[in-house]
Structure 1
Amino acid sequence: MKRKSPAVSILQHGLLSLMCVIALFPLYWMLNSSFKNESDIFKSDFLPPSPILSNYSYAFEQMPIFRMMFNSFGVSILMTALQLSTGLLAAYALVRWRFRGQTLIFTLLSLTWLIPFQSIMIPNYVLVNDMGMNETLMGIVLPFAVSTFAILSLYQSFQSFPKVLIEAACIDGQSDFGILTRLILPNIKSSVASLGIILFINGWNEYLWPMLITKKMENAPLQIGLKLFVNSDSNMWGSLMAATTVSCLPILLIYLLLRRQIVDSFVRFGIK
């Protein structure tokens, strides 16, 4: 194998370092601004000239940050659980049984992936409003109870599972639910876990629909609560940066603990 020249290696590492700086600079700016006075917020000081903690105390006084964290985790976990449950059942049905119109159903499922959520947002809002689910977590979660991405991803995993084992389990008298939970799931748990991580991140980052459903901070996820805080105190940038810093800590901690699994998830489903 040819060895890379030192110049090429230096250039590659230099580009990688530059990309890291560009990626980390917004985090540095956020943390730095959270300790600044309003008069110093737009000054290009590397460190705050006189660090303060009043931005954090004001943010906690004006915003139910822990309640909004709970809402964000609740929405993300419920979305992930529902999408995995419906995805497992739908994918198993498509792989396990042969019935008339199966190809048509699979094609329609694939096509629904191409429909932007904005095109069905108003009908969903009317339905959720008629059910009285505005300002509730279930009102946010319900339109995302089924994920075409989850169904198609699990369908591929089920397709690779040996059908001989499924037929042997049927001969032994196992029910379809038993085959799914006792035979298939233990053997594809890595794929299911990777998919769950992707679905959790998608649920955490959901913004447009929660903004439409929730109008109060105590009922909103973190992203929507921060937006409502900007609308109420448009000049309190230091407090906003403090609230944003606190809101980033849980997901940052999760990433540090599960960074290998998260990277593997993106690689696995990015290739698919």
Structure 2
Amino acid sequence: MTTDAQEESGTEVRQTGTVIQRIRGHAVLIVIAFLCAVPIYWLFATSLRRPEDIYSLSPFPWPLSIENYTDAAAKVDILGLLLNTLGVAVASATAQLLIALLASYAFAMYTFRFQKVLYLAFVGTWLVPFQVTMLPNYVLLYQLGLINTLAGVVVPTLSSVLAVLMLRQHMTSFPKELLAAARMDGRSSWSILWTVVVPNLRPALAALSILLFINSWNEYFWPAVVLQRSNSVLQLGLRSFMGTEGDDWGPMMAVAGMACLPVFVLYIVLQRHIVNAFVRSGLK
């Protein structure tokens, strides 16, 4: 009886400790989420203030005003900037995802001469700073006549080493029995990739696609080098509200807030797949 009571007491203590750890963990996550959400909230709050209240420190904008949005629409073509930026981000992310899918499939599923050397050389290009390749890329685009075009922004970003590394990691843990069974059925390598591998990598592909899209969407430096017009992509359009006499913060925050919306929508659509990708990444 004494032993049973001690075991029950130990179990209750362990359960209490687990509950306390969970509460602490959730408390830390809540604090981190709050710290991440405050800048975004302040961005939209500033965009909804009246122009004379832009520098107000009140956490709640009142009375609400859309004057900053109307001023921004009068100064720049917001719809055109959004469409151009969306086209560049989608084209770049799609190309990077497709090339990474093919390259990681080759590195993970095949054995060929100099495989490790080629893979290390490919990974080594990730260590080269962008400032080193910027000038050669610019000269090449100039020779191709792609300077000051949206295609000039996309072409140098068609391949992503990060995407190859992430997909290769998922493919190396892919069950080899499924591949062997597909080959026994007479399927080609191309058919195996698209009918066996890709359907089982949807969570990983969704998580990677949103990372690539956000990276392309937020890119500022390379479009600023290639494009000479401020009315080309959204990030350069924000420069229209900067001047020597001061920055027009209200319209700038309005445009920046609208720039966040496509990323939010993409995350909401792919949220389930992204969570599954992080869960499966810890399973072997």
**Which residue, out of 160, 174, 193, partners 1:161?**
174
Identity of aligned residues (%): 37
The aligned residue for residue 244 of structure 1 is 256
Are the structure 2 counterparts of residues 112 and 245 from structure 1 closer, same or farther at C-alpha, using a change threshold of 3 Å? Answer: same
Would you say 1:91 and 2:101 are equivalent positions? no
The aligned residue for residue 226 of structure 1 is 238
Distance 2:186 2:283 in 1: 37
Are the structure 2 counterparts of residues 24 and 98 from structure 1 closer, same or farther at C-alpha, using a change threshold of 3 Å? Answer: closer
**Which residue, out of 51, 58, 68, partners 2:71?**
58
The aligned residue for residue 4 of structure 2 is none
Would you say 1:140 and 2:148 are equivalent positions? no
Larger-gyration structure (1/2): 2
Q: Compare relative contact order (CA 8 Å, sep 6+) and give the higher one, 1 or 2.
A: 1
Q: Which moved more, 1:65-74 or 1:160-169?
A: 160-169
State TM-score, norm by structure 2. Answer: 0.80
The aligned residue for residue 60 of structure 2 is 47
Deviations 1:205-246 (A, max 9, x none): 2222122122323322x2222134324884321111222222
Would you say 1:75 and 2:92 are equivalent positions? no
Is the contact made by 1:82 and 1:146 (CA closer than 8 Å) also made in structure 2? yes
Is the contact made by 2:89 and 2:216 (CA closer than 8 Å) also made in structure 1? yes
Would you say 1:194 and 2:204 are equivalent positions? no
The aligned residue for residue 131 of structure 1 is 144
**Which residue, out of 218, 224, 243, partners 1:205?**
218
The aligned residue for residue 34 of structure 1 is 47
**Which residue, out of 207, 220, 229, partners 1:216?**
229
Aligned-CA RMSD value: 3.1
Letter matched to residue 39 of structure 1: E
Distance 1:205 1:122 in 2: 21
Structure 2, unaligned runs of 5 or more? 1-13
The aligned residue for residue 271 of structure 2 is 259
Distance 2:20 2:177 in 1: 55
